[in-house]
């Protein structure tokens, strides 16, 4: 402890053999020492705590709680079962573009969103994502799962597994059915893992310095292959899941593509697309059959109505004669010759209905009203005929 002023010493002679000096400490020296010592306890941690008031203490506490909640949420997210859905919750515009070359050993079906590929044959995929500020390192986690049972892990068959020799550095890669052709790829997961971060997967670091597309997205080409077939794992349907992750493991985007590893990709793709078309036709036919009775009744009613109207029209045409002519003054004349009074009244009523509809559509036109009134007078005169 640093002391501001020197203490005064004095020695008294005693008769004892052990002569020990006594310290004479003045009261004013103690006060000065305490004052100086208390001021020097203001170290850096103490200064930080003293600088915090109640407001920013609450903010500091809330930020700590939010950070802890975010870390827990990231851990829960990475340890949950995968969901076979596409999303872009991080706003990175994450997407996948399959680069299918001519005469390649794999094919992609657009209507099925499915890759058909041979074993040990690589396929290329372009990863598109948007760089956001501040720049953070991103990884792409890729894993295989069963389409109808996402909780079950996907293992290699023993026949193909026994061919790969086990070394000190390839234990996890040897167990993985999915292989990455990209440098710096990391194989993760265990045989008992079910969650996203626990199951067998391949993590590929994405390079921010890759080429940029016309839309401003970063593009990186990756290559993958499979070392077993679907027939090796019970012919179950499989899906390939691509997860865009931050360095902390937070998933900010996901894309799913269905996969079939087979010996004849073209044949299987054609068969599956034909089955899809037949299912669509069958569903359309079933929907048509459900609506068919109502359609039949409606068509029958329409046909009966048309028949009756045609018959009445034919009888009217055969009974009434309509003649149009022009007078010497340039006016137009309509002459209706009817053998029966009822036929004449029906003709006039038809013209009255048409005139009334025109009056309703154009209520401000006085000439239409006059025309309708003349037709009503004409009908009245026809009623008075013998």
Residue 216 pLDDT > 70, yes or no?
A: yes
Nearest to 145 by CA among 89, 80, 91: 80
Distance, CA of 244 to CA of 142 (rounded, Å): 9
Q: How confident is the model at residue 381 (pLDDT cuts 50, 70, 90)?
A: confident
Residue 177 pLDDT > 90, yes or no?
A: yes
Bigger pLDDT: 120 vs 41: 120
Quick one: pLDDT at residue 296?
53
Q: How confident is the model at residue 237 (pLDDT cuts 50, 70, 90)?
A: very high
Q: How confident is the model at residue 60 (pLDDT cuts 50, 70, 90)?
A: low
Confirm whether residue 160 is marked as ligand binding: yes
3-state class of 191 per DSSP?
Answer: coil
User: pLDDT tens across 308-349, in order?
Assistant: 444 444 444 445 677 777 776 667 777 888 877 778 888 888
Bigger pLDDT: 77 vs 267: 267
Confirm whether residue 232 is marked as ligand binding: yes
Distance, CA of 210 to CA of 76 (rounded, Å): 32
Are 32 and 39 contacting, i.e. CB atoms less than 8 angstroms apart? no
CB atoms within 10 A of CB 185: 17
Nearest to 181 by CA among 253, 250, 125, 260: 125
**With the C-alpha atoms ordered 93, 96, 101, 102, is the resulting torsion angle positive or negative?**
negative
In the β-sheet with 95-99, what is the strand arrangement from edge to edge?
A: 95-99, 123-129, 218-226, 178-180
Domain residue spans of the chain = 73-270, 336-384
C-alpha pair distances (Å), 362 with each of 216, 359, 369: 58, 5, 10
Confirm whether residue 248 is marked as ligand binding: no
Q: Which residue has the tokens 């949420």?
A: 73
DSSP label of 199? S
Bigger pLDDT: 142 vs 357: 142
Distance, CA of 58 to CA of 60 (rounded, Å): 5
The region of weakest confidence among 15-29, 106-120, 334-348 is 15-29
Quick one: pLDDT at residue 228?
95
Residue 247 pLDDT > 70, yes or no?
A: yes
Confirm whether residue 383 is marked as ligand binding: no
Q: How confident is the model at residue 24 (pLDDT cuts 50, 70, 90)?
A: low
Say which CATH architecture domain 73-270 belongs to: Sandwich (2.60)
Distance, CA of 256 to CA of 94 (rounded, Å): 12
Average pLDDT over residues 151-180: 91
Record the pTM.
0.57
The region of weakest confidence among 68-82, 194-208, 231-245, 255-269 is 68-82
Residue 41 pLDDT > 50, yes or no?
A: no
DSSP string covering 217-265 = -EEEEEEEEESS-GGGGTT--EEEEEEEEETT--EEEEEEEEEEE-S-H
> How many CA atoms within 13 Å lie on the side-chain side of 322?
7
Residue 69 pLDDT > 60, yes or no?
A: no
In terms of Cβ atoms closer than 10 Å to its own Cβ (0-12, 13-18, 19+), residue 260 is: buried
* Distance in Å from the first CA to the final CA of the chain: 140
Distance, CA of 268 to CA of 219 (rounded, Å): 31
Are 144 and 238 contacting, i.e. CB atoms less than 8 angstroms apart? yes
Rounded (5°) CA angle 149-157-143: 45
Residue 306 pLDDT > 60, yes or no?
A: no
C-alpha pair distances (Å), 359 with each of 351, 365, 367: 12, 7, 9
Average pLDDT over residues 354-365: 79
């Amino acid at each position: 402890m640093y002391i501001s002023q020197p203490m005064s010493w004095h020695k008294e002679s005693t008769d004892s053999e052990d002569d020990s000096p006594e310290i004479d400490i003045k009261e004013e020296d103690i006060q000065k020492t305490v004052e100086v010592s208390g001021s020097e306890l203001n170290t850096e941690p103490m200064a930080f705590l003293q600088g915090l008031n109640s407001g920013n203490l609450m903010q500091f506490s809330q930020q700590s709680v939010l950070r802890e909640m975010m870390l827990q949420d990231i851990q829960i997210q990475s340890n949950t079962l995968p969901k076979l859905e596409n999303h872009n919750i991080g706003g990175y515009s994450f997407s996948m573009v399959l680069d299918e070359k001519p005469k390649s050993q794999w094919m992609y079906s657009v209507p099925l969103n499915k890759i058909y590929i041979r074993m040990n044959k690589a396929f290329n995929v372009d990863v598109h994502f948007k760089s956001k500020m501040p720049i953070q390192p991103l990884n792409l986690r890729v894993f295989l799962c069963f389409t109808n049972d996402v909780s079950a892990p996907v293992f290699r068959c023993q026949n193909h597994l026994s061919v790969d020799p086990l070394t000190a550095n390839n234990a996890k890669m040897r167990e993985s059915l999915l292989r990455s052709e990209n440098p710096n790829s990391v194989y993760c997961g265990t045989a008992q893992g079910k969650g996203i971060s626990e199951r067998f997967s391949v993590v590929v670091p994405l390079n921010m310095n890759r080429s940029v597309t016309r839309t401003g997205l970063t593009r990186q080409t990756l290559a993958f292959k499979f070392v077993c077939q679907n027939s090796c794992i019970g012919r179950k349907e499989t899906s390939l899941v691509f997860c865009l992750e931050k360095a902390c493991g937070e998933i900010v985007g996901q894309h799913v593509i269905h996969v079939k590893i087979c010996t004849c990709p073209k044949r299987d793709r054609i068969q599956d697309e034909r089955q899809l078309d037949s299912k669509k036709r069958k569903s359309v036919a079933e929907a048509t059959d459900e609506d068919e009775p109502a359609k039949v009744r409606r068509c029958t009613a329409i046909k009966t109505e048309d028949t009756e109207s045609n018959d009445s029209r034919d009888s009217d045409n055969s009974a009434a004669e309509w003649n149009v002519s022009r007078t010497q003054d340039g006016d137009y004349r309509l002459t209706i010759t009817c053998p029966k009074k009822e036929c004449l009244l029906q003709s006039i009523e038809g013209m009255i209905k048409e005139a009334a509809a025109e009056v309703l559509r154009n209520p401000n036109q006085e000439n239409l009203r006059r025309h309708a009134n003349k037709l009503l007078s004409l009908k009245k005169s026809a009623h008075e005929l013998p």
